[in-house]
Amino acid sequence: MGQAAVAAGPFADRRSRTRDLLARYPFAREVLDLYGALLGVQENAYGEVISARPGAPDLVAYVAERVVPAVVEVTVATGPEKLREAVADRFHSSNPRELVAAWIGGEQQDLVDRYLARASVGPVLEALGADVASSCIGPRDERHCKTCGGVPQLSYFAVASEDLAAGGRFLLCSRCHSTWGYARMTCPGCGEDSSSRLPIFNEEGNASGERGSVVRGLEGRLGDHRKENKAVFPHIRIEACESCRGYLLNIDLLADPDAVPIVDEIAALPLDLYAGERGFSKITPNLMGF
């Protein structure tokens, strides 16, 4: 997650975590199969763009021509049926440059356009870093990515060796995957910091140290998946906000040091369903639309 991991390429860790979670979470097979296949395309794109080094003015054209076609191909080969059809359809009827430009420009997009743009732009921004990501449109404040202005996808508690300046809590950008420190018990959507308005939902047996105003009830939802009555997600909890009705999933690396937040977040579908049933909306849906 830090500089060293980026220099070596983040994809080996993501791939092996995806394999581990496929074995652990059969209910997430469909999204993890697609994500695992996408990682291969993203890793190639990451490697190629490091040699090609397009500048910010060429970013849209580069991604549209060099990455989008491979993302379409792997999705049509591996994705869930509805997504396959929608993606093939969209690729033939729309201009890839427009959908890439809209994502970089921070515009509203429908699910399919956003999926294609996001899966294609992500590895390119990760490889090129701030020089190019800084050309993306979006606010630069503590609730947005300092590098590209994107909104946070998830929150995580770092292991002790990482920078603990912000109490060990970090947010990960949905657009360029940069991370930044953020205060605990503060809503990343609206800045609410009154703990009575920040409900936390986690399973009994969750190993996350800090409790906050924990609301029980997930056991019923996860009953079918629980083995020997152990938590299905001992390291993930829902951090919601009564003020803006938003939420993010928080991944606690102290509770599971092998977790790769971007992968674990995608696999935690039942938590998203639970939050949705309680009337909360994720600050932004993840790559897979949840």
* Minimum CB–partner distance for residue 250 and Zn ion (Å): 14
* Minimum CB–partner distance for residue 144 and Zn ion (Å): 8
Indicate the residue among 145 and 267 with the shorter CB distance to Zn ion: 145
* Minimum CB–partner distance for residue 234 and Zn ion (Å): 26
Indicate the residue among 72 and 173 with the shorter CB distance to Zn ion: 173
Helix axes 59-66, 111-128, angle to 10 degrees: 110
* Minimum CB–partner distance for residue 150 and Zn ion (Å): 4
Indicate the residue among 25 and 103 with the shorter CB distance to Zn ion: 103
What is the 3-class SS of 247-275, one letter each residue?
EEEEEECCCCCCCCHHHHHHHCHHHHHHH
* Minimum CB–partner distance for residue 197 and Zn ion (Å): 8
Indicate the residue among 86 and 287 with the shorter CB distance to Zn ion: 287
Indicate the residue among 199 and 270 with the shorter CB distance to Zn ion: 199
Q: Kindly list the residues in this chain that would bind Zn ion in the complex (CB under 5 A).
A: 145, 147-148, 150, 173, 175-176, 178, 187, 189-190, 192, 241, 243-244
